């Protein structure tokens, strides 16, 4: 892998988009490598993922315009599908995911961050969907996920005006969960990932599945998703240890993911 790096830090995996000279822009090779990295991760061993960008200036500044500029209609649609397929895989990935946004998160970068479960950012981060200023629409889920996260009105305003927003506004509208000084961002991401990893992984993954599957369903159908995931946790070793420790008024032993 040249453009997407992967590192294991205990129970946490760290994915880094590694094209700092072009602000980590997403080209076809980046998408292919990200797809390969996701396929290679041992989900039984790890319990959380952090996604970030190399360097201090950018998380991901967008899709690679030099690659997109010569595409025709069919090629443009195929490029959008390539990005969407990878981001859908990331969104549905069984491990919880944290986007550590360390600078520009524009276009495809904002879309990559939105495919993660959580977004935390540095106080220097900038978010936006600037595509209409280039004569195109967002292509990797921006018109869909942004509206689901911040509401249709705010999403339309950001997309139609192509206006970028800073970290404080991203926090205000609910696009990010928290803002940190740039020097503290990675430590904060690892701390958040570590706090997730310390909980029962079977239960955490079941919660993610229930939330994702139920989001698009009427409540009466959505709670059925929850019931199934709730039931799936029973008679696991982690459930027995967690409830046993509670009843015995002691701290539970480390969860074993079984």
Confidence category of residue 49, pLDDT binned at 50, 70, 90? very high
pLDDT tops 90 at residue 1: no
Helix-then-strand count for the chain, H and E: 11, 10
Q: How long is the chain?
A: 258
Contact 71, 21 (CB under 8 A): no
pLDDT at 32: 98
Rounded to whole angstroms, how far apart are CA atoms 125 and 246?
41
Confidence category of residue 173, pLDDT binned at 50, 70, 90? very high
pLDDT tops 90 at residue 250: yes
Contact 81, 125 (CB under 8 A): no
Nearest to 39 by CA among 92, 101, 112: 92
Is 87 buried (19+), middle (13-18) or exposed (0-12) by CB count in 10 A? buried
**In sequence order, which residues have a C-beta less than 8 Å from that of residue 81 and are 6 or more positions away?**
none
**In sequence order, which residues have a C-beta less than 8 Å from that of residue 249 and are 6 or more positions away?**
none
Nearest to 200 by CA among 145, 159, 245: 245
Measured on CA atoms in the order 164, 169, 175, 179, is the torsion positive or negative? positive
Residues marked active site are found at 111, 131
pLDDT tops 90 at residue 86: yes
Rounded to whole angstroms, how far apart are CA atoms 139 and 143?
8
| Per-residue pLDDT tens digits for 204-222 | 999 999 999 999 899 999 9
- Pairing assessment for the beta strands 58-60 and 12-17 based on DSSP bridges: unpaired
Report the DSSP beta bridge partners of residue 169.
none
Could you give phi then psi for residue 86, rounded to 5 degrees? -70, -45
Write down all domains in the chain, each with its CATH number in brackets.
4-197 (3.90.226.10), 201-247 (1.10.12.10)
pLDDT at 181: 98
Is 73 buried (19+), middle (13-18) or exposed (0-12) by CB count in 10 A? exposed
């Amino acid at each position: 892998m040249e453009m997407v790096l992967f590192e294991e830090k205990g129970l946490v995996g760290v994915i880094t988009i590694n094209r700092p000279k072009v602000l980590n822009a997403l080209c076809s090779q980046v998408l292919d490598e990200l797809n390969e990295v996701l396929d290679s991760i041992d989900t039984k061993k790890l319990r959380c993922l952090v996604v970030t960008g190399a360097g201090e200036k950018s998380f991901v500044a967008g899709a690679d315009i030099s690659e997109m500029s010569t595409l025709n209609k069919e090629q443009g649609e195929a490029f959008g599908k390539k990005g969407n397929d990878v981001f859908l895989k990331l969104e549905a990935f069984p491990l919880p995911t944290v986007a550590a946004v360390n600078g520009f998160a524009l276009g495809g970068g904002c879309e990559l961050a939105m495919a993660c479960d959580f977004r935390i950012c540095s106080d220097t981060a900038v978010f936006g969907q600037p595509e209409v200023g280039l004569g195109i629409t967002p292509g990797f889920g921006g018109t869909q996920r942004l509206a689901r996260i911040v509401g249709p009105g705010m999403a339309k305003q950001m997309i139609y005006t192509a206006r970028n927003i800073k970290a404080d506004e991203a926090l205000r509208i609910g696009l990010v969960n928290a803002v940190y000084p740039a020097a503290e961002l990675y430590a904060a991401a690892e701390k958040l990932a570590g706090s997730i990893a310390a909980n029962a992984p079977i239960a955490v993954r079941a919660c993610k599945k229930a939330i994702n599957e139920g989001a698009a369903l009427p409540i009466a159908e959505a709670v059925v998703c929850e019931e199934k995931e709730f039931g799936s946790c029973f008679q696991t070793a982690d459930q027995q240890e967690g409830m046993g420790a509670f009843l015995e008024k002691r701290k539970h032993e480390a969860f074993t993911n079984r």
